[in-house]
Structure 1
Amino acid sequence: MKADVYTRITDKIVSDLEQGVRTWLKPWNAEHAAGRITRPLRHNGQPYNGINILMLWATAVERGFAAPIWMTFKQAKELGAHVRKGEKGSLVVYANTITRTELDVDTGKEEERDIPFMKGYSVFNVEQVEGLPAHFYAVAEPQLDPVQRIDHAEKFFAATSADIRHGGNQAYYAVSSDYVQMPPFEAFRDAESYYATLAHETTHWTRHPKRLDRDFGRKRFGDEGYAMEELVAELGSAFLAADLGLTPEVREDHAAYIGSWLKVLKNDKRAIFTAAAHAQRAADFLQGLQTKKEDDRAAA
């Protein structure tokens, strides 16, 4: 029997992790779009979200695709193009529901219940497609220079109004006191490394009860709840880094989590979907604070 979507995707990520590969840390290639860092994009320029980001990044790395743009066979055809013969599609998924009528044992009445599930379909990278309009293949405008990128990142995190403190040699989020602790700026290899690390810690910051109220029941280092929260922060910071044009920071201390992540993913085939969904919510929440800051300034 063909493996379900949850199993297929989880098995792929587990396989990568068993080889020590965190796919989300190497999702881009400098050959396309002048090296611009981005999330995978649909044919209309809309970015993919959640688990689909991980899957398409993984495929791009594995198969050497530099272009970030993907489309279905039908979409390519509608654009007057065609997928090259023999090319293999890549899996993406979307959430759907099926309605079932079940007997409520307490009331004895039949009730309709919506059951969520994932459905998959195939997309192709534009490098697998011939005859597309030129702009699908064109090198995009150069990415922002380092000074502009860092200025953008500084404004982004300032707009969150998070309590960010500096000192010591550790980066962490203190949930009980609700602040982010960062080593001094000068302690980092470069500015990009600093902001990539800050992206990780501010993803943790979103878990507070007065924000997204994310709680996996973590009690001690290495337990399942701890591993899930760290996985959410890893993925969330990678999504933010892509949006900000930053390269994710490869923190060696986080390599220690791989064993815990493997245990969680092997025990629950839906865990990576849950983590990616929470990571997307965290990134969206932080992005939403940018709009709020702009609205507050306009109203002042």
Structure 2
Amino acid sequence: MSKERFDIHQAVTDRIVAAIEAGAGSWQMPWHRGAGGRRPVNIASGNAYQGVNILALWVEAQFFGYGSNVWGTYKQWAEAGCQVRKGAKAAHVVFYKQIAVATEDTDSGEDETETRLFARASPVFNAGQVEGYAPPVPPVVGSAEILAGIEAFVAGTGAAIEHGGSVACYIPSRDLVRMPPRETFFATPTSTATEAYYSTELHELVHWTGPKSRCDRDLAGRFRSEAYAMEELVAELGAAFLSADLGITAEPRADHAQYLAHWLTVLKADKKAIFTAASAASRAVQFLHGLQAA
């Protein structure tokens, strides 16, 4: 009997759906405090993981209580002089490999080749599952410096930010982000006032990347009636990715409870939906980072 093929799209989606359902009551999503504190990085390259792999590894870290954001394959850990513990259970990340596929030209009847992308799963282990790893000591950074850095990042995007009113939003007709005054943000049991303000501002900045002149993010063709809810998921993920990059934690958004049922419906019906949302969030984050260099 042939072995059933491992479906990486379904496996990652099931894991994320379970994590979202588990945190729904207190609105603690996988991208919030704890697992979402730092972006996952690879032990061999030092590069941060991208797209859905960020979310997948946050879910794994949250579920198993890993305190490190460093991951690698068995071979990569061995090359780093570390040993994965016996019986350790791997998480999976997805990468896409280009494969040449033979096709037939219907007009000429001649054989041709075209390149297609195929998803491949790669097992990885967290630093908390290995022996011999000494994590680097993080630099001590004061809150004022973190705030200054985020202020510079937001200014570097060139987005028009207007303070006023009581609701944070992106207004497409005016192409600006409206934020309530800073003094209206308060600490909660899960976030400081500073985290609440900046994670909200970053959320709206991800919405700001949506128009055609920027990331050209049109989800209506992909998700139809659920497009608005999925855009909110993209903004949630993008804000979490940015919060990790900029050194703050994303604030749990209880006001997004209205979208939770929509997200779960789409994710359960479409195993690639979370990949699409995470990819769109990563593109938005890369776009905003690119504006800093510009």
What TM-score results when the alignment is normalised by the length of structure 2?
A: 0.88
**How do 1:275-290 and structure 2 match up within 5 A?**
275-290=277-292
**What is the CA-CA distance between 1:3 and the residue it aligns to?**
4.1
**How do 1:28-43 and structure 2 match up within 5 A?**
28=35, 37-43=37-43
User: What whole-Å deviation, never above 9, does each CA across 1:169-227 have from its counterpart, x for those lacking one?
Assistant: 11111123211111111111222211110000000100111111111128x9x932112
**Residue 177 of structure 1 aligns to which amino acid in structure 2?**
R
Which residue is 1:34 aligned to? none
Which residue is 1:33 aligned to? none
**Residue 72 of structure 1 aligns to which amino acid in structure 2?**
T
Is the 8 Å Cα contact of residues 178 and 208 (structure 1) preserved in structure 2? no
Which residue is 2:185 aligned to? 188
**What is the CA-CA distance between 1:79 and the residue it aligns to?**
2.4
Pick from 170, 193, 201: which aligns with 1:173?
Answer: 170
Relative to 1, partners in 2 of residues 1:232 and 1:109: Cα closer, same or farther, differing over 3 Å? Answer: farther
Separation of aligned partners in 2, 1:95 and 1:75: 19
Pick from 23, 28, 32: which aligns with 2:30?
Answer: 23
Separation of aligned partners in 2, 1:176 and 1:11: 38
**How do 1:1-300 and structure 2 match up within 5 A?**
1-19=4-22, 20=24, 21-28=28-35, 37-43=37-43, 44-105=45-106, 110-132=111-133, 136-142=134-140, 144-189=141-186, 190-217=193-220, 223-292=225-294
Is the 8 Å Cα contact of residues 223 and 260 (structure 1) preserved in structure 2? no
SS at match of 1:74: helix
Comparing 186-195 and 204-213, the one that deviates more: 186-195
**What is the CA-CA distance between 1:103 and the residue it aligns to?**
3.2
Is the 8 Å Cα contact of residues 227 and 264 (structure 1) preserved in structure 2? no
Which residue is 1:32 aligned to? none
**Residue 263 of structure 2 aligns to which amino acid in structure 1?**
W
Which residue is 1:298 aligned to? none
Separation of aligned partners in 2, 1:249 and 1:259: 20
**What is the CA-CA distance between 1:107 and the residue it aligns to?**
6.3
User: What whole-Å deviation, never above 9, does each CA across 1:246-288 have from its counterpart, x for those lacking one?
Assistant: 1102121112111111121122211111111111111011111
Which residue is 1:297 aligned to? none
Comparing 104-113 and 47-56, the one that deviates more: 104-113
Q: Matched residues, percent identical?
A: 45
Is the 8 Å Cα contact of residues 81 and 130 (structure 1) preserved in structure 2? yes
**Residue 192 of structure 1 aligns to which amino acid in structure 2?**
E
**What is the CA-CA distance between 1:119 and the residue it aligns to?**
0.6
Gaps of 5+ in 1: 30-36, 293-300
Is the 8 Å Cα contact of residues 170 and 204 (structure 2) preserved in structure 1? yes
What TM-score results when the alignment is normalised by the length of structure 1?
A: 0.87
User: What whole-Å deviation, never above 9, does each CA across 1:12-59 have from its counterpart, x for those lacking one?
Assistant: 111222231520113448xxxxxxx42111114221111111111111
Is the 8 Å Cα contact of residues 150 and 192 (structure 1) preserved in structure 2? no
Separation of aligned partners in 2, 1:111 and 1:231: 40
**Residue 49 of structure 1 aligns to which amino acid in structure 2?**
Q
Separation of aligned partners in 2, 1:265 and 1:97: 26
Relative to 1, partners in 2 of residues 1:166 and 1:108: Cα closer, same or farther, differing over 3 Å? Answer: farther
- RMSD (CA atoms): 2.0
Paired residues in the alignment total 279
Is the 8 Å Cα contact of residues 29 and 252 (structure 2) preserved in structure 1? no
Is the 8 Å Cα contact of residues 35 and 59 (structure 2) preserved in structure 1? no
SS at match of 1:223: helix
